[in-house]
């Protein structure tokens, strides 16, 4: 996961500028830098976080923190050795998601769900249909989901309507927790 004191909107734009990212982004925004402060990585003066690598075990315990301030680089060998010290099972690989997302024009919740699909690198596996531009999509949404509310993600025969729930489901499908 990536984290910064920027807002979810900054994360969405950053991810989009890279063509999508395949991991969740934490907006440590309010209280600003709360997570970073707890790890000793918040820089009060400029109001931002130091670049760092944090390794958290399966129980949620922080096992390693290393600031990587400019112009530092991460030593992959050192990080692999730290992971081996922690032990445990193999890391879970990336998951996948598929389905159809129904959206509407001018709908902020639809936009948020579409950005999540882009940022998680799911544009090839989630079909996006606009119910304002395609009458057959509107009809399919009503028959598949049971109502014509968008956004709606139909995946594995289940309809999810709230954008927050859609995004959370996509994140957990792509980056499943052990």
With a cut of 70, list the residues of the chain below it in pLDDT: 22, 69-73, 88-96, 175-178
Using the CB atoms, write b or e for 132-146: b if 16+ within 10 Å.
Answer: eeeeebbebbeeebe
Question: What pLDDT score was predicted for residue 175?
Answer: 62
Query: Options 3.40.30.10, 3.40.50.720, 3.40.50.2300, 3.30.465.10; which CATH number does 99-174 get?
Result: 3.40.30.10
Task: Answer whether 2-86 and 99-174 agree in fold.
Answer: yes
* Residue pLDDT, tens place only, 100-113: 999 999 999 999 89
| pTM, entire model | 0.58
Provide the CATH topology of domain 2-86.
Answer: Glutaredoxin (3.40.30)
């Amino acid at each position: 996961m990536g984290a910064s004191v920027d807002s979810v909107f900054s994360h969405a734009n950053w991810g989009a500028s890279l063509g999508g990212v395949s991991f969740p982004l934490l907006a440590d925004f309010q209280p600003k830098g709360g997570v970073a402060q707890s790890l000793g990585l918040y820089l009060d003066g400029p109001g931002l976080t130091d670049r760092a690598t944090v390794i958290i075990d399966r129980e949620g315990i922080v096992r390693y923190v290393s600031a990587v301030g400019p112009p530092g680089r991460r030593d992959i060998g050192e990080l692999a050795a730290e992971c081996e010290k922690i032990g445990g099972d193999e890391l879970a690989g990336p998951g996948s998601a598929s389905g159809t997302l129904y959206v509407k024009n001018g709908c902020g919740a639809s936009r948020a769900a579409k950005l999540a699909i882009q940022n998680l690198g799911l544009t090839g596996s989630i079909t996006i249909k606009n119910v304002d531009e395609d009458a057959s999509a509107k009809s399919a949404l009503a028959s598949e989901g049971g109502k014509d509310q968008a956004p709606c993600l139909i995946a594995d025969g289940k309809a999810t309507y709230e954008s927050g729930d859609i995004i959370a489901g996509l994140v957990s499908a792509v980056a499943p927790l052990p």
